[in-house]
Amino acid sequence: MSSLASLDGHRLAVMVWHYHDDDVAGPDADVSINLSGVPVDEGTAHVAEYRIDETHSNAYTAWKKMGSPQQPSETQINELTKAGQLALAGKSEIRFEGHHATIRTVLPRQAVSLFVVEW
């Protein structure tokens, strides 16, 4: 597990990934993202999660389900383009107390999630 974060005004972006060099099946990761030092003392923030994994934002999975066409049709290309767009995996809210909040999620193996927190 690794992560990277950036802060811009009233928006915090946190990217977390559960990557392994060996592309083999493995357990999901229970993830707690502890946010501290954020310029929100008390209050609620909105969280949007965007994900890339086996079933989200994955044109390669869609291409394999099509039978791996070497020369996809125009319809297939459109489907692959849509499948490759960054997908919203969910929305939630978190509560800040004393400039601290926690985001909890389960991240599949070989997945990347981008959490956008806005207040």
* pLDDT-above-90 percentage for the chain: 86
User: Do 103 and 32 touch, CB atoms closer than 8 A?
Assistant: yes
Q: For the whole model, what pTM was predicted?
A: 0.87
Structurally, the chain folds into a number of domains equal to: 1
CATH number, domain with residue 10: 2.60.40.1500
pLDDT at 21: 78
Residues in the chain, total = 119
pLDDT at 25: 84
DSSP E strand stretches across 1-99: 2-8, 11-18, 29-36, 42-52, 87-97
Sheet holding 111-118, edge to edge: 2-8, 11-18, 111-118, 42-52, 87-97, 100-107, 29-36
State which residues form the domain around 60.
2-118
DSSP H helical ranges for 2-119: 59-65, 74-83
Going by pLDDT thresholds of 50, 70 and 90, the confidence category of residue 100 is very high
Q: Is the pLDDT of residue 1 over 90?
A: no
pLDDT at 19: 85
